[in-house]
Amino acid sequence: MPYLVTIGLEVHCQVKTQTKMFCACRTSFGDTPNTHTCPVCLGLPGALPVLNQEAIEKTLLTGLMIGCGSPEISKWDRKNYFYPDMPKNYQTTQMDLPLCIGGAVPLYDHCYPTDVRKSIANPNKTVRLNRIHLEEDVAKSTHLGNSSLIDFNRAGTPLMEIVTEPDLESGEEAFAYVRSLQMILQQGGVSDADMEKGQLRCDVNISLRKNSEDPLGQKVELKNLNSISAIRRAIHFEIQRQTEELDRGIPQVQSTRRWDDDRGETQMMRTKEDAHDYRYFSCPDLLPIETAPLLEKVRPLVPELPHELAIRFERDFGVTAYDAEVLSSDKSLAAYFEAVTAPTIPGKKVANFIINNLLGILNEHSLNILGCPVPPEKIQALLTLTENGTLAASQAREVFAVLFAEPTQDPAAIADRLGFKPAEAGELEGLCDAVIANNPSEVAAVKAGNEKLLNFLTGQVMKSATTKPNPKLVTEMLRGKLG
């Protein structure tokens, strides 16, 4: 039988700072293991933490971007547990007075999986947040057959934990939530939020119940999911697993499970774990934070969010809703689009060229917009050539292919090199007259309404021309002469 699914997410996001949360060690990815460590992040006796103000400010900025409130005073706590990735045997975190409380994340339609975008159950849905607290990341453990390796370079990296209310109902909504949140974090410069680098990791809480008036079912937590597609697949599997057990009369118990991506299944790790198991208490080494001055400092830094950018792009540049969603999904892409736009070029044409041509060739070369070799002013110059009639759209694409390989060249010079230039004064008109005179039956058919043969006549003119004029101009000239 079908059950109501309730899902909450805990997203762990590394904050983009130069140094760690409580020490001056450099944050890094991919460096030689255990080369960015000190007595503080190694948890050596007697070492005392010092707060990273930038991490606190970026966490508060995140809260402002998504409508969170903040307590007047935020404080630090110790979460006690024993594990090799935390040699102090406690993690410095926040329990009852986190930096950010409440807020909500909108689920952008284009952030859903491609296969369900046309059938979104709850369009324009927002997911409420419970809190955002700041803590230190743990070391990275690599488990081998009979041993484990540990790298403390990651230990102490500033880590936001963004906790939702149980507002999600499917793997597809969870997919959209993580992608939408990822875009917002990147837009604000808070984090690169790269899941492949471990900068964004997710715990999923799932419970099933028969009716909406029933209390929530027992929570099952899926730990440390590190890709958006894995989150979706793990949720699908867990819903199926719980459904089958409930149908057989097997009650669920509060537990923590891991996702085995190779096998496509979740596996039991431990049962029953609550906050009191961690024996939280206030950290005696760190003073509480007065949030008001820091909030006023970061408030001017709140950027346009993706949905705000999309609305402005539709309004100011006349692009479609789809184009606006794509262009606003990446702040660097949005900036590139705005740099290309000009009063003489319709915004829709700029959007079409960037989405259909530029992004396509970048994808072929495994590049993002930041790695694009062609500066926006060169694209603007190329599109100007199409607007003034020098180039047809197909010719512009050929010029762009050369420009991508030779980005220092001038688009007009490339067009000239390829032979794409207007015919000499009077030459084009003479060519059109000659083609009309030499093809009387085709001319008669065009006059009788056969527009397809106009393309044939255009082709004859293009063959006769010593240059490669814009075929659109040739067609327009022929149409004018034939009435």
What digits encode the pLDDT tens for the residues 437-476? 888 888 888 777 777 788 888 788 777 776 677 777 778 7
Same domain for 295 and 359, yes or no, is: no
Same domain for 88 and 116, yes or no, is: yes
What CA–CA distance (Å, rounded) separates 191 from 186? 6
* Domain total of the chain: 3
Same domain for 246 and 290, yes or no, is: yes
Same domain for 435 and 409, yes or no, is: no
Q: Tell me which residue range forms the domain holding 468.
A: 427-482
What CA–CA distance (Å, rounded) separates 202 from 224? 5
Same domain for 308 and 289, yes or no, is: no
- With 0-12 CB in 10 A as exposed, 13-18 as middle and 19+ as buried, what is 451? exposed
What CA–CA distance (Å, rounded) separates 6 from 20? 35
Token output for 158: 């500033």
Same domain for 39 and 187, yes or no, is: yes
| Whole-number pLDDT of residue 422 | 63
Same domain for 153 and 45, yes or no, is: yes
| Whole-number pLDDT of residue 466 | 62
- Choose the final residue of a domain: 392, 417, 442: 417
What CA–CA distance (Å, rounded) separates 442 from 448? 10
Same domain for 243 and 184, yes or no, is: yes
| Whole-number pLDDT of residue 35 | 97
Token output for 131: 């809190």
Same domain for 186 and 159, yes or no, is: yes
Same domain for 402 and 434, yes or no, is: no
Question: Cα angle vertex 257, ends 251, 260, to 5°?
Answer: 125
pLDDT digits (tens, 9 = 90+) for 315-359: 999 999 999 999 999 999 999 999 999 999 999 999 999 999 999
Same domain for 275 and 364, yes or no, is: no
**38 or 480: whose pLDDT is higher?**
38
- Extract the runs of DSSP E, i.e. beta strands, from 187-295: 200-209, 220-225, 255-260, 265-271, 281-282, 289-290
| Whole-number pLDDT of residue 38 | 96
pTM of this structure: 0.85
Domain presence at residue 422: no
What CA–CA distance (Å, rounded) separates 7 from 15? 25
Same domain for 434 and 408, yes or no, is: no
Residue 414 one-letter amino acid? I
Domain presence at residue 346: yes
Q: Does residue 1 have a pLDDT over 70?
A: no
Residue 151's contacts (CB-CB under 8 Å, 6 or more residues apart) are: 33, 34, 139, 140, 142
Instruction: For residue 386, give the nearest of 335, 352, 429 by alpha carbon.
Output: 352
